Amino acid sequence: MGLGKTLQALVMAERARLDGTLTPDAPILVVAPTSVVSAWVREAAHFTPGLRVVALTETERRRGTTVVEATREAHVVVTSYALFRIDEAGYRARAWQGLVLDEAQVVKNHQARTYAAARRLPAPFKLAITGTPLENSLMDLWALLSIVAPGLFPSPTRFSELFRKPIESGTSPELLETLRRRIRPLMLRRTKESVAPDLPPKIEQVVPVVLNPQHRRIYDRHLHRERQRILGLLDDVGHNRIAILRALTKLRQLSLDVHLVDPDAPATVRSSKVDALLDQLVEVVAEGHRCLVFSQFTSFLGMVRSRLADEGIEHVYLDGRTRDRPKRIAAFVEGSAPVFVISLKAGGSGLTLTEADYVFVLDPWWNPAVEAQAIDRAHRIGQDKTVMVYRLVSESTIEEKVLELQERKRELFARVVDDGGLMAAPLTADDIRGLLGAD
């Protein structure tokens, strides 16, 4: 979670308290990912000590008190999305002056219970804070707008017919500007250039990785088999989507290390991707730099960690199952380990890691916004060094096609929010054929 957006919301609450409009009778509710609830409490204590902040970190049943009872003296209440969903009735029983949704992309699915809880909560003011208002389709944007401005586009079906389908299909790109005009009064876009003009540059580079002969031979054998199978499923992409994505994921894993898919492959088949990463890391670490290493796949990160240990490179590790997350983060921020190995899911939000000035992305994701979120753990306010970003991409594999897909989606959708907006539509049959190198 960025310091800037936290402070904006807290300062707004402090001003409301001073003018008498924010009282414990109707506090502000902040809902955030579990990993950043403590950050809200910490920043409030430091920058707005006049606010009485209560963090609800347990369910009503476990705590033994209702939401109303636990928050009687609070100006601001902070809780997680999971607890907000579980105890929705308890939160609805309380009077609130406002609702703040941090990392609001969590409620992008308008058919999910968490979205419904945010939509139904009685509050005269609702604010959605997110760096990625669009992740999968324009319906993500509709979900956020329906919470903060429910009368703007009342019907999801109507919004889909008028905007999502013609824009995402590319048949009516001019509707992008129409949509932007409608939503512009409701959005405040904070760019790094506007809030941190002195922030050092971020230099991004794609590093091609040539598969070694053994790695190439096994990848090509699986590619031939999976291509034939996937092409046979494209007549009904919707029905076969899970099977198709599973096969595409297998090819992505094979681009990293064949043992992720074929554990019986000879141990002598080295991962070309890990070899390329270590070539870079050894040199960078020797020069005194600190690095973040991201991948989608925790099993692959396990292999990376094993190689780091073999090379004697100290590192810290974090994934979505890490229970002592604050301790791991502190170990890197305050310690001497030069490398922080992080799963993309765990590191995409809630982290400020400006101690690092090198970022390695080991596998491209369909949605460039997710990668951008991870990279910006290092390139954010407080960074005083140029940030070098290296995307390692295996040559002549599905990874090159994923990069091409990212760029096609970026060109069509980048202008929905502004010239820096990012989103990716669901994969179409033509997208999948492109990923397989098929006509």
Task: Provide the pLDDT confidence category of residue 191 given band limits of 50, 70 and 90.
Answer: low
Q: What is the mean pLDDT of residues 361-385?
A: 83
- Residue 237: exposure state from Cβ atoms within 10 A (0-12, 13-18, ≥19): middle
pLDDT in tens, 118-161: 999 999 999 998 877 776 678 888 999 999 999 899 999 999 99
Do 183 and 146 meet the contact criterion of CB atoms below 8 Å apart? Answer: no
Is 3-194 a domain of CATH 3.10.20.740? no
The pLDDT of residue 413: 45
Q: What is the mean pLDDT of residues 211-227?
A: 92
Whether 3-194 shares its CATH topology with 196-211+270-396 is answered: yes
Chain-wide mean pLDDT for the chain? 86
pLDDT in tens, 319-341: 888 888 888 988 999 999 999 99
Count of other CB atoms within 10 angstroms of residue 365:
19
The pLDDT of residue 260: 95
- The single-letter DSSP state of residue 267 is T
Domain spans, the chain: 3-194, 196-211+270-396, 213-269
pLDDT in tens, 1-11: 445 566 667 77
**32: Cα within 13 Å, side-chain hemisphere:** 28
Distance CA 346, CA 320 (A): 5
- Cβ partners under 8 Å of residue 259, min gap 6: 265, 269, 271, 303
Q: Is the pLDDT of residue 421 over 60?
A: no
pLDDT in tens, 288-304: 999 999 999 999 999 99
Strand extents, DSSP E, 303-412: 315-318, 339-343, 358-361, 387-394
Q: Is the pLDDT of residue 416 over 70?
A: no
Residue in the block written with tokens 């290296």: 390
The pLDDT of residue 250: 92
- Cβ partners under 8 Å of residue 345, min gap 6: 296, 319, 320
- Cβ partners under 8 Å of residue 93, min gap 6: 66, 67, 68
Q: From 1.20.1740.10, 3.40.50.300, 3.40.50.10210, 3.40.830.10, which CATH number describes the 196-211+270-396 domain?
A: 3.40.50.300
Q: Work out the percent of the chain whose per-residue pLDDT is above 70.
A: 89
Q: SS3 breakdown of the chain: % helix, strand, coil, rounded to 5?
A: 50, 15, 35
Distance CA 116, CA 104 (A): 13
Distance CA 65, CA 12 (A): 29
